Amino acid sequence: MFGIAFATMAIANFLMAPFWGTFGDRYGYVKGLSVACFGYTCGQLVFSQANGPELVLLGRFIAGGFLSGHAVNVMAYLATDAEDNQSKAKYMALFAALTSVGAALGYFIGGFLGDFALNAWQSVRPVFYVQAIGLFSGIALIWPWVGELQVQRSAEPFRLSQINPLRSIMKSAPLIKGPLALFLLISFLTSFATNAQDQSFNYFLRAQLKFPPSYNGVFKAIVGLIALTANLTLNIWLSRRTDLRKSIIPVLLMCSVSLVFLVVVESQILFFISALVFYIFNAIYLPMQQGLIVRNTSGSKGEISGLFNAIKALGMCLGPLFSGLVFAQNPKLPFIAALFAFLIAGILSVYNRRQYIQAEQRIESI
């Protein structure tokens, strides 16, 4: 059920990501972010009241549909505001670093709130109420503190047909060709691997190792702080000093190597060390991909960001769904699948880099 519930959220995320790109391009990325946060909060509150699978899946679907608007609008805002590719890569690294801080703090507080709520009320519902307060506070801060970018926007009137997610996906489909098509396939593989591993890992701690929620919270908080340091130092250095299309290759391969140890070790200490190494490299590759995708010149920033996040959401859907289906057979099968997905992504990245080099050379010759 944990795989199906997460997959439901990811399906809605996949369907709606291109729409949020169009919405942000037309009405403004700050407005898009605000609406997305509000809708996600409503979805979480529905989920918190669930007492059966119907409301669980409904809450997950609503939350997923609005959740995609967050990354799409933030990425498009930063890419539009950046002056050059180096600034774009720097902004994406900072975005990832701040996300790591928020995730680390959220996991840490959520883990202990989960323990407290279970002991006091035999329910984790109060944790959702705290989350809702945090999200509404964020919405209240967005409007007065963050201004819309002054860019030319379409004057074409908005039609209800534009809410159709399949229409948004088909509109962006012509962009999927050449090096971008392979890059999106790599992005799907890494998203599948990350989410298959992460969802299974969270459940592995609870179901196999019998740890309370606070253990996962503390571990993810430590990972988040290390990821913050890596994104503020290593990622910014890589964006300034190296070719990101080249440096992302060893990062993806190290994700694969760390998962090998996660699968084969028996000691709990070595298991957590292997997981820690994986999450560090896992935190590094995403801002690198974000920095690379916003360099594409075809399509608007919102459209490209929406397409990228739709592909990532597809991986978010299939990865946890796969984990949920195979976990009962062998709890480490999701880790093995993620291992091979990262390995293939790393190998394909070598060829993808050559594709982009050849494409740039053709443009320069013209």
**Inside any domain, residue 356:** yes
Total domains present in the chain: 1
Confidence class of residue 153 from pLDDT cuts 50, 70 and 90? low
User: What pLDDT, on the 0 to 100 scale, is given for residue 91?
Assistant: 81
Average pLDDT, the chain: 81
Q: Which residues of 97-110 are buried (b: 16+ CB within 10 A; e: fewer)?
A: bebbeebbebbbbb
For the ranges 127-131, 233-237, 315-319, which has the lowest average pLDDT?
233-237
Percent of the chain with pLDDT over 70: 85
User: What pLDDT, on the 0 to 100 scale, is given for residue 163?
Assistant: 53
Residue-wise pLDDT for 156-181, tens only, equals 655 655 555 556 566 666 667 778 88
Average pLDDT over residues 320-346: 88
Q: Long-range contacts made by residues 107-111, C-beta under 8 angstroms, separation at least 24?
A: 107/216, 107/217, 107/219, 107/220, 107/221, 107/224, 108/217, 108/218, 108/220, 108/221, 108/224, 109/217, 110/213, 110/217, 111/213, 111/214, 111/215, 111/216, 111/217, 111/218, 111/220, 111/221
**Inside any domain, residue 54:** yes
**Inside any domain, residue 108:** yes
Write the CA distances from 303 to 108, 167, 336, integer angstroms: 34, 13, 34
**Inside any domain, residue 163:** no
User: What pLDDT, on the 0 to 100 scale, is given for residue 209?
Assistant: 67
Domain that holds residue 351: 2-145+173-365
Q: What is the CATH classification number for the domain harbouring 223? A: 1.20.1250.20
User: What pLDDT, on the 0 to 100 scale, is given for residue 38?
Assistant: 92
Reply yes or no on whether the pLDDT at 348 is more than 90.
yes
Specify which of 65-69, 237-241, 258-262, 278-282 reaches the highest per-range mean pLDDT.
Answer: 258-262
> Which tops the pLDDT comparison, 165 or 62?
62
- Cα distance between residue 42 and residue 273, in whole Å: 37
**Inside any domain, residue 151:** no
Reply yes or no on whether the pLDDT at 228 is more than 70.
yes
Residue-wise pLDDT for 274-320, tens only, equals 888 898 888 888 888 877 876 665 556 666 777 787 788 788 878 88
User: What pLDDT, on the 0 to 100 scale, is given for residue 118?
Assistant: 82
User: What pLDDT, on the 0 to 100 scale, is given for residue 349?
Assistant: 94
**Inside any domain, residue 130:** yes
Q: Roughly what angle, to the nearest 10 degrees, separates helices 213-230 and 268-293?
A: 50
User: What pLDDT, on the 0 to 100 scale, is given for residue 207?
Assistant: 66
- Cα distance between residue 258 and residue 235, in whole Å: 19
CB contact set of 165 (below 8 Å; sequence gap of 6+):
15, 16, 18, 19
User: What pLDDT, on the 0 to 100 scale, is given for residue 154?
Assistant: 57
Confidence class of residue 363 from pLDDT cuts 50, 70 and 90? low
Reply yes or no on whether the pLDDT at 251 is more than 90.
yes
Reply yes or no on whether the pLDDT at 155 is more than 70.
no
Confidence class of residue 346 from pLDDT cuts 50, 70 and 90? very high
- Cα distance between residue 221 and residue 209, in whole Å: 19
**Inside any domain, residue 161:** no
**Inside any domain, residue 162:** no
Collapse the DSSP code of 3 into the 3-class scheme (helix H, G, I; strand E, B; otherwise coil) and give the result: helix
Average pLDDT over residues 342-362: 88
Q: Long-range contacts made by residues 133-140, C-beta under 8 angstroms, separation at least 24?
A: 135/37, 135/38, 135/40, 135/41, 135/44, 136/38, 136/41, 138/37, 139/34, 139/37, 139/38, 139/41
Residue-wise pLDDT for 186-221, tens only, equals 999 999 999 888 878 877 777 666 676 667 677 777
For the ranges 109-118, 131-140, 146-155, which has the lowest average pLDDT?
146-155
